[in-house]
Amino acid sequence: MPASKAQQKAVSKYMKENYDEIKVRVKKGRKDEIKTHAEKMGESVNEFIGRAIEETMERDGE
């Protein structure tokens, strides 16, 4: 069953209050490669990108 308009509005408000968005552009075909890799690791693309950022920031901070 699709979400009601009230539920969609509540989710949108929650997302806006609790998350920032970053748009990432990659060359054609790379998106599928990234998605396949993330799935092999048991992650969503968002989780994979977030992990990559965290690991790089930790490494660069040393």
Does the pLDDT of residue 24 top 90, yes or no?
A: yes
Q: For residues 51 and 56, give the distance between their C-alpha atoms in angstroms, rounded to a whole number.
A: 8
Q: pTM here?
A: 0.75
pLDDT tens string 26-59: 999 999 999 999 999 999 999 999 999 999 999 9
Helix and strand tally (H, E) in the chain?
A: 3, 0
Q: What is the pLDDT of residue 1?
A: 81
Average pLDDT over residues 12-26: 96
Which residue is listed with tokens 């990559």? 52
Report the chain's C-alpha Rg in angstroms: 16
